[in-house]
A and B are shown apart, each in its own frame.
Chain A
Amino acid sequence: MMAPPFNLVVVGHVDHGKSTLIGRLLHEAGALPGGKVDELRQASERRGVPLEWSFVLDSLQAERDQAVTIDTTRFCLTIDSRDLVIIDAPGHREFLANMVSGAAGADAAVLVVDAAEGLQDQTRRHAYLLRLLGLEEVAAVVNKVDLVDFSETRFRALEGETRALLEGLGIRPRVVLPTSARHGDNVTRASPRLPWYEGPTLAQTLAGFAPAATAEAAPLRFPIQDVYRQDDQRILVGRIESGRIAVGDTLLFSPSNKLARVKSLEAWPGPRPESAGAGRSIGVILDRPLFVERGEVASHVEHAPLRANRFRASVFWLGAEALREGYDDRLRLGTREVPVTVERIERVIDTDTLATVELGRVERDQVAELLLRSPALLALDDHARLPRTGRFVLRGNGATLAGGFASLRDVADQRPALSDKDEHLTPVAHKVTRGARAARFAHKGGVLWLTGLSAAGKSTLAMAVEQHLFRKGYAVYVLDGDNIRSGLNADLGFSPEDRVENIRRVGEVAALFADAGFLCITAFISPYRADRARARAATPPGGFHEIYVSADLATCEARDPKGLYRKARAGEIRDFTGISAPYEPPETPSLVVDTVEAPLEACVEQILAYVEQHFARGRVEEERGGERA
C-alpha cells in the first residue's frame, strides 16, 4: 500500500534558485518524462540562455521570458521509494498569495538562500509564514555556492544566520546544506567540490522528513458539508478533519448544540463501514430526524469545540487594500460562512523585518493579531491544538483576502449545559395517539406548505382552501404573515438571519398543528430550499406536502397588489425575492399550482382534490392498521 502523498514546498527569496533546484532534482532523480530535456534545451536556446532547469516548472511563457516564477506548481518524485510531491512557490513579493496557495498544503518545507546575496526580505517573510502555517519539518539550502567559490567560510556564516532566523521563530531546521543547483552539486550526489561538507544531499534530506502525522488520534471534528435526501432519509456528508466516527456514537452538533446517534455510515456501492477516520469523505444517517445543515460541526460530547462568537487570531493579510478596525466581511471556518467584524487590531508585524509596527492598519503581506467578532456563534478550536479546524479565511469581493489562526485564550464557552435541552428531550408519549386524532377529525393531520413569489397568490389560495375545507368539516388553519408576524414573530425583522428564524418558527408551529391532527396551510414566500427542508424535517414523516404556487416574475410584478415590486425596483426594499434575492423553486413539489394559466377557482379545486386524495377519511381507514399506536 502506498502512503498518501507527502507534500513538500520550496520557498525563499526571488531569484535564489528555487525552480532551478527543483528542475535539477527532478532531472537527476529521473522524474522528467522522455523528451523533456530536449524541449528545455530548445526553449533555452531560443532565449539565448544556457540550459535552464527552472523551465521544467516555469511552464508559462511569461515566466520563461521574465525568468520569474509567477504561480505555484507541483511535481511528483520518488526518492528511495518514497513518493513526494514537490511544490514550487514563487519568491517574488507580488505573488505572495500564490506562494501561500502552494505552501498552505505542504507537510514540510525547504527554504532556499542565495549564497552570494544572503538572507533577503522574502527569506524572512517566507520563514515567518512557515511558522504561521505550522510547518515543523523544515530544511534550509544555501544555493549557488559556485558563486562564492564553494567557500566553507561563507556557507558557515549563512548557515548561522539562517539557523538564527528559523530558531528565532521557533523552527528547528533538520539540516542546513550547501548546493549548486545549476551545476548539480549536492542535489542527489555528494560533490567533490564540497569536500568540507559531510551532511546529507538534498535528496537524502527530503527522503528523511518525518511522515505527516495523522489526525486520527485527535478529537473528532466532522464539519457538515451538505445534506442529501435519499429514499426519505437525510444523509449528512462531509470530511472528517480529525478523529474517528463509528456507528452508535453520540454526536454533538455545534453551534446548534443538538445531539443524535449515528445510525449508519453510508457508502456506494457498499459495503457500509462500521467506522471511519480522519481524512475520509463520508455520509452519516442519524437515528432521528434532526435538522442540521452545512456549517455545523459534529464532535463527541467530551472534547467538543468551543461555542463562541468573539476570539483572537493571527492573520496574514493578502488584500490589496489595508485592513482596518471595523472591517466588515465574511469569515469561512470549515464549511461555515458567517459575517465577521474586526473589532480590534492588537498588534501588527512587518514580515520584512519581523518587527512590531504601530500602524492601526494592516497592509498587504503583513501579519496581525486581531480581535474578531461575528454575530453568529461558531464552533471554534484553538489552532495550536487542532490545526485543521482552528484555521479560517477572510473573504471579500468573492476572493480570499487572508488566512487566520484562532486562539482560544480568554474565550468563554457560550455552550448552554446540554442537560437543559437534550437529555430531557425524550418526550413523554401522548396517550392520545395520532391515529385516534385522525379518527376523531376524520382526516389525517399534516402541513400544506405553499411556496412561491410574492403576489403569486399563496395567501388568496390558502384562505379560499381553508374556507372550503372548513365547510367540509376539516380541522384546518392558515398560518400567514399577518397572524405570525404580529404575535409570535413580533421580535423579528427582515435581516437574512431573522427571515431564516421566521420560517423556522412557522415550520415548528405548523408541525405542532399537524401533530394535533390539524391540516395546517402555510402561505410564505419561503424562497430557500434549505429553510423548507428544515420545515419538512420538523413535521412527522409523510405529513409535509410542498405546494409550489407558480407564477412567473413578470406576472407577479404586473399584479403587485401591495406595490412591493415597485419599491424593490426603486431600491427602497433590499433583498426582495425575485428582484434582488433569489427564489429557489422546489425540486420535487407534491403539487404545482399554476396561477398564471388557471383561474383562482381551478387552482382551489386542484388543491382540494389533492387534499381529498391524501388526507381524507378513506385514506385514514386504510392506513390506520399501519399507524403506530
Chain B
Amino acid sequence: MDRLEALEAQSIFILREAVNRLNPLAMLWSVGKDSNALLWLARKAFFGRVPFPVILLDTGNEFREVYAFRDRLIDEWGLTYIDAPCPPIEETDPSLPPKARAAARKTLGLRRIIAERGFRGVILGIRRDEQAVRGKERVFSPRDAAGGWDFRHQPAEFWDQYNAEPPPGGHMRVHPLLAWAELDVWRYIKREGVPVVPLYFARDGKRFRSLGERDICFPVPSSASTIAEIIAELEATREAERAGRAMDHESEDAFERLRAQGYM
C-alpha cells in the first residue's frame, strides 16, 4: 500500500465505525476540498451511497460558487442535505476578537442543529496539520451538552478502539481525516478525480487555499490553475495553509477558545 491507500483505508475504517456505533449521525459539509474528499471516502466506504445526511453551516455569507457547487453535488451524488442557518454575530461571545466572532456563528449554528435533530455523532473533515490546536484532537472526540471540548481531559484512544459513548446530552465528533496532510488531500483529489469548487484555482493571480465565509477568508497569491499546479505549488511553499483565515491570527488563543466552545 502506498501512503494515500493507507490513509484511505484508515479513513474508511473510521467512517464505518461511526456508522455502526453512532445513531443518529450526520456529516458537516463545508463544500471545501477536505469535506468533498471526505464525502468521496464515504461513498467508497458505503459502496456509492452516503448513509447519513450532510449539513452545511450556512452563514448566508458563503461564496456564490460554493452554493452552486453544493446544489450540483446534492443532485449528482444523491445526498440528503440539511441546511443549518447560523445565528447572527450579535449572539456570539462578545469577548472573542471580531473575526473569531464571525467564525463563532458556525459554532452556534452547529449547536442548534445538533440540539434540533438529536445527533449523537457528527463527522468533520478537520486535519491535525491545519492548526496546532487541532493537532491535539482525538479521532472520536466527546463534546458535552453545551458542545464544549474539554481538551484537558481527553479520553484514552488507541489501537482504533474508539470511544463512541457521548456524555449525557452531548455528542461525539468524528475526525476521519485527522492524519491527512494538506498535500495528501490534493493528491487524493487528483488521483480519484474528486470535484472541487473552482475558487481553489487561480484567477487574476490569486486563489483560495482555504475556504470559509466571504468576509473572513482571503485569497493568496498564486498562478496554480490546475490540481497538478496546486500540488506543485504546495510542494514548494512554506506558507501556512490557514494564513488567509483572519480568525486564526487575531490573538494567540483565539482558535483554542473557539474550539473549546465547540468550533470545528
Residue ranges of A at the interface with B (Cβ–Cβ < 8 Å): 1-5, 30, 32-36, 39, 42-43, 46, 56-57, 59-62, 70-76, 83, 85, 97-98, 100-101, 104-105, 225-226, 228, 230, 235, 237-239, 266-269, 277, 279-281, 283, 294, 318, 332, 391, 393, 395, 398-401, 403
Name the segment of B8-16, B97-105, B108-116, B200-208 touching the other chain. Answer: B8-16
Q: Is B62 an interface residue (CB 8 A)?
A: no
Q: Can you give 15 A-B contacts (C-beta < 8 A)?
A: A4-B3, A33-B239, A60-B136, A73-B132, A74-B128, A100-B158, A101-B138, A105-B158, A267-B47, A268-B44, A269-B43, A281-B9, A281-B10, A281-B12, A393-B159
Complex contacts, B129 vs chain A, CB 8 Å: 75-76
Main SS at interface, chain A: mixed
Q: Contact check: which of B1, B20, B47, B253 meets A4 at CB < 8 Å?
A: B1
Q: Which of B216-262 contact A (CB under 8 A)?
A: 237-241, 243, 252-253, 256
Complex contacts, B159 vs chain A, CB 8 Å: 104, 391, 393, 403
A226 near B16 with CB under 8 A, answer yes
A75 near B46 with CB under 8 A, answer no
Complex contacts, A279 vs chain B, CB 8 Å: 1, 5-6, 9
Q: Contact check: which of A36, A83, A268, A401 meets B43 at CB < 8 Å?
A: A268
If A74-B128, A269-B48 touch, does A98 touch B154 (CB 8 Å cutoff)? yes
A98–B159 CA distance with the chains assembled, in angstroms: 13
A43 near B3 with CB under 8 A, answer no
Q: Which of B15-47 contact A (CB under 8 A)?
A: 16-17, 19-20, 43-47
A59 near B136 with CB under 8 A, answer yes
> Which among A42, A60, A277 has the highest number of chain B CB atoms within 10 Å?
A60
A100 near B132 with CB under 8 A, answer no
What's the least CB distance linking A84 to chain B, in Å? 12
Quick one: closest B residue to A103, CB to CB?
B158
Q: Is B68 an interface residue (CB 8 A)?
A: no
If A34-B239, A101-B138, A391-B159 touch, does A2 touch B20 (CB 8 Å cutoff)? no
Complex contacts, B132 vs chain A, CB 8 Å: 56-57, 59, 73
What's the least CB distance linking B250 to chain A, in Å? 12
Q: Contact check: which of B10, B12, B151 meets A71 at CB < 8 Å?
A: B151
Complex contacts, A70 vs chain B, CB 8 Å: 151-152
Complex contacts, B252 vs chain A, CB 8 Å: 39, 42-43, 46, 61
A398–B168 CA distance with the chains assembled, in angstroms: 11
If A3-B3, A61-B252 touch, does A34 touch B240 (CB 8 Å cutoff)? yes
Q: Contact check: which of A33, A57, A277, A398 meets B238 at CB < 8 Å?
A: A33
Q: Contact check: which of B6, B19, B20, B240 meets A36 at CB < 8 Å?
A: B240
A5–B45 CA distance with the chains assembled, in angstroms: 21
Complex contacts, A5 vs chain B, CB 8 Å: 3, 6-7, 179
A61–B5 CA distance with the chains assembled, in angstroms: 36
- 20 extra interchain contacts, Cβ-Cβ under 8 A, other than A230-B49, A332-B161? A4-B7, A30-B238, A33-B241, A61-B252, A61-B256, A70-B151, A73-B135, A74-B128, A74-B179, A105-B158, A225-B17, A226-B19, A269-B44, A269-B48, A279-B5, A294-B20, A393-B159, A399-B156, A400-B155, A403-B158
A2 near B2 with CB under 8 A, answer yes
Complex contacts, B17 vs chain A, CB 8 Å: 225
Q: Contact check: which of A34, A59, A400 meets B157 at CB < 8 Å?
A: A400
What's the least CB distance linking A348 to chain B, in Å? 20
If A60-B133, A75-B135, A101-B138 touch, does A4 touch B2 (CB 8 Å cutoff)? yes
A225 near B138 with CB under 8 A, answer no
Q: Which of B189-217 contact A (CB under 8 A)?
A: none
Residue ranges of B at the interface with A (Cβ–Cβ < 8 Å): 1-10, 12-13, 16-17, 19-20, 43-49, 128-129, 132-133, 135-136, 138, 151-152, 154-159, 161, 163, 165, 179, 181, 237-241, 243, 252-253, 256
What's the least CB distance linking B153 to chain A, in Å? 9
A60–B134 CA distance with the chains assembled, in angstroms: 10
A172–B253 CA distance with the chains assembled, in angstroms: 42
A480–B197 CA distance with the chains assembled, in angstroms: 57
B2 near A3 with CB under 8 A, answer yes
Quick one: closest A residue to B193, CB to CB?
A269
A87–B29 CA distance with the chains assembled, in angstroms: 29
A267–B163 CA distance with the chains assembled, in angstroms: 28
Complex contacts, A266 vs chain B, CB 8 Å: 47
A98–B157 CA distance with the chains assembled, in angstroms: 8
B136 near A239 with CB under 8 A, answer no
Complex contacts, A395 vs chain B, CB 8 Å: 161
Quick one: closest A residue to B162, CB to CB?
A400
What's the least CB distance linking B242 to chain A, in Å? 9
What's the least CB distance linking B24 to chain A, in Å? 12
Complex contacts, B49 vs chain A, CB 8 Å: 230
Complex contacts, B8 vs chain A, CB 8 Å: 281
A281–B20 CA distance with the chains assembled, in angstroms: 15
Complex contacts, B237 vs chain A, CB 8 Å: 34
What's the least CB distance linking B1 to chain A, in Å? 5
If A4-B2, A43-B252, A279-B1 touch, does A398 touch B165 (CB 8 Å cutoff)? yes
Quick one: closest B residue to A395, CB to CB?
B161
B156 near A235 with CB under 8 A, answer no
What's the least CB distance linking A378 to chain B, in Å? 15
A391–B161 CA distance with the chains assembled, in angstroms: 11
Complex contacts, A71 vs chain B, CB 8 Å: 136, 151, 154
Quick one: closest B residue to A105, CB to CB?
B158
A62–B151 CA distance with the chains assembled, in angstroms: 10
B13 near A281 with CB under 8 A, answer yes
A60 near B155 with CB under 8 A, answer no
A5–B163 CA distance with the chains assembled, in angstroms: 24
A268 near B157 with CB under 8 A, answer no
What's the least CB distance linking A447 to chain B, in Å? 26
What's the least CB distance linking B159 to chain A, in Å? 6
A77–B165 CA distance with the chains assembled, in angstroms: 34
B6 near A400 with CB under 8 A, answer no
A225–B13 CA distance with the chains assembled, in angstroms: 8
A-B pairs, top 8 by smallest CB distance, nearest first, are A59-B132, A398-B165, A104-B158, A4-B6, A33-B240, A73-B135, A281-B12, A97-B156
> Which among B19, B47, B136, B151 has the highest number of chain A CB atoms within 10 Å?
B136
A404–B48 CA distance with the chains assembled, in angstroms: 37
A98–B179 CA distance with the chains assembled, in angstroms: 17
Complex contacts, A98 vs chain B, CB 8 Å: 154, 156
What's the least CB distance linking A174 to chain B, in Å? 24
Quick one: closest B residue to A70, CB to CB?
B152
> Which among B1, B5, B128, B159 has the highest number of chain A CB atoms within 10 Å?
B159
Quick one: closest B residue to A584, CB to CB?
B23
B47 near A399 with CB under 8 A, answer no
B1 near A280 with CB under 8 A, answer yes
A1 near B2 with CB under 8 A, answer yes
Complex contacts, A268 vs chain B, CB 8 Å: 43-44, 46-48
Complex contacts, A399 vs chain B, CB 8 Å: 155-156, 163
What's the least CB distance linking A443 to chain B, in Å? 35
A228–B49 CA distance with the chains assembled, in angstroms: 11
Complex contacts, A83 vs chain B, CB 8 Å: 3
Quick one: closest A residue to B167, CB to CB?
A398
Complex contacts, A280 vs chain B, CB 8 Å: 1, 5, 9
